[in-house]
Amino acid sequence: MSQLKTISHLDNIPSTPGKFKMDKSPYIHRLRWHSWLCRVGLWSVVFIGFILIFFLRSPPAPSAGDPARRILGNAVWGGPAWEKRVRSSARVRRNHGLSVLVTGAAGFVGTHVSTALKLRGDGVLGIDNFNDYYEVSLKRARQTLLDRSGVFVVEGDVNDSALLRKLFDVVPFTHVMHLAAQAGVRYAMQNPGSYVHSNIAGFVSLLEVCKSANPQPAIVWASSSSVYGLNSKVPFSEKDRTDQPASLYAATKKAGEEIAHTYNHIYGLSITGLRFFTVYGPWGRPDMAYFFFTKDILRGKSISIFEGPGHETVARDFTYIDDIVKGCVAALDTAGKSTGSGGKKKGSAPLRVFNLGNTSPVPVTELVSILERLLKVKAKRSMQKMPRNGDVMFTHANISLAQRELGYQPTTDLQTGLKKFVRWYLGYYSNSGKKRIG
Ligand SMILES: NC(=O)c1ccc[n+]([C@@H]2O[C@H](COP(=O)([O-])OP(=O)(O)OC[C@H]3O[C@@H](n4cnc5c(N)ncnc54)[C@H](O)[C@@H]3O)[C@@H](O)[C@H]2O)c1
């Protein structure tokens, strides 16, 4: 018993060489063994301490698991400097101004809407994933333009819920203008997954974060005239059926409208869908006919103009970008509040859908004639049967609901709008094909 006591007593004494006279003890071997163990233990603690100091003193490496800083492609988000930029961009500078998160801000419509909001003193923060569906340099040039007017565009995907949550942590956005999407009808035959990723999964990801935000923002988002699909009754009215989409793009926009209904119903989110009709203008999209016709006419390349089986002309309700911007801003200004908070509905909230068109369809052949006059170059026209790739023969908007509820009144005819587009195009692309930011 006393031996046991002695051993246990020595066990508790730190192993300090020379402090004890061990050679006279009958337990000398066991004590040496314990002393060795203690030394190993001590050095292990010192070693682990060094490792910890090393990691704690190193600058934090951006990694997907680090909640403070994350990395996406080449872009890093998070950290005090980044948060300061986000706050400054979203700061409201007028009485009763809005604080708006604009998704797809480096896109055609996103750039124009963001600039208009910023100009009148609203707080604006953009997000865009800068995908390469069309020339990324054009998106970067738009970003530079936005930067100059004080709009910070965060590089990120709307499917990145952690990033979205972080943005809502930093800024209590009053509104979201959701324009991020995989646009274009024909590209769906090459890359159908991109439509599901951005237009369906991305929209749900955004709504999930909005529904949990406190306060919940009101959401205005871009649907499309393509939801009218194969309808033949004109002009297209919001009351008409929308269950015959002619393309995957249209189907994803229709799905978006149904998803909007669900989130409005369950979570009390205020949601407004805007069905845009063929938007055109400066800083436009290179995949759209007016844009690549201009390019091809100037290069002397022949352009394909589609027609129906009985030589019917294809027509579009071309809508100038400034008119669309006015419609978007009016939709934000009239959006009622979301009623829920922290994911719980407290009452019913507005759910709206509006056509934003020009109400005067123009045959594509006429579009080409206007471009010929403006460019002073004769087009090499090649008339072709419309392929079955998702395009429809015509679009024509009934805008009476938007007129009544939003005060929406388009004022730019195609001739005037294309003149502005051509002026921009010639300034942006020099003859050598180089780009300028104007
Ligand atoms: N321009 C038109 O004629 C027209 C007509 C009907 C509907 N719309 C809709 O209006 C909106 C804006 O169209 P646009 O013409 O400006 O197109 P756009 O392609 O120029 O803009 C969309 C932007 O969203 C970004 N984006 C795409 N997926 C994203 C994602 N997952 N996360 C983050 N960013 C993403 C793209 O990089 C792009 O900059 C779209 O929703 C489009 O479907 C446009």
What does the pLDDT read at residue 343?
A: 86
Residue 109 Cα: closest atom of ligand 1 = 16
Residue 285 Cα: closest atom of ligand 1 = 20
User: Does the CB atom of residue 107 touch ligand 1 within 6 A?
Assistant: yes
What does the pLDDT read at residue 33?
A: 46
Could you tell me how many residues make up the chain?
438
With a CB cutoff of 8 Å and minimum separation 6, the contacts of 92 are 98, 99, 121, 122, 123
Distance CA 391, CA 386 (A): 8
User: Does the CB atom of residue 284 touch ligand 1 within 6 A?
Assistant: no
User: Does the CB atom of residue 158 touch ligand 1 within 6 A?
Assistant: yes
Q: How close is the Cα of 45 to the center of ligand 1, in Å?
A: 56
User: Does the CB atom of residue 198 touch ligand 1 within 6 A?
Assistant: yes
Q: Which of 77, 101, 102, 108 to mutate to test the pocket of ligand 1 (most atoms within 8 A of CB)?
A: 108
User: Does the CA dihedral 161-162-166-167 come out positive or negative?
Assistant: negative
Tell me which residue of 357, 344, 337, 346 sits closest to 401, measured CA to CA: 357
Q: Which of 279, 292, 322 to mutate to test the pocket of ligand 1 (most atoms within 8 A of CB)?
A: 279
With a CB cutoff of 8 Å and minimum separation 6, the contacts of 120 are 94, 97
What does the pLDDT read at residue 430?
A: 77
What does the pLDDT read at residue 341?
A: 85
Chunked into runs of 10 residues, the chain (438 residues) has average pLDDT values of: 33 33 39 49 49 37 45 75 98 98 98 98 98 98 98 98 98 98 95 98 98 97 97 96 96 98 98 98 98 98 93 94 98 97 90 97 97 98 89 94 98 98 95 46
User: Does the CB atom of residue 130 touch ligand 1 within 6 A?
Assistant: yes
E-strand spans in 79-168?
99-103, 123-128, 152-155
What does the pLDDT read at residue 48?
A: 47
User: Does the CB atom of residue 173 touch ligand 1 within 6 A?
Assistant: no
User: Does the CB atom of residue 328 touch ligand 1 within 6 A?
Assistant: no
Please, are residues 390 and 186 in contact by the beta-carbon 8 Å criterion?
Answer: yes
What does the pLDDT read at residue 391?
A: 87
Q: Tell me which residues are annotated as active site.
A: 249
What does the pLDDT read at residue 43?
A: 56
Please, are residues 170 and 83 in contact by the beta-carbon 8 Å criterion?
Answer: yes
Q: How close is the Cα of 60 to the center of ligand 1, in Å?
A: 34
**DSSP classification of residue 241:** -
Distance CA 114, CA 153 (A): 10
Q: How close is the Cα of 18 to the center of ligand 1, in Å?
A: 78
Please, are residues 142 and 283 in contact by the beta-carbon 8 Å criterion?
Answer: yes
Whose C-alpha lies nearest to ligand 1, atom 38?
107
User: Does the CB atom of residue 290 touch ligand 1 within 6 A?
Assistant: no
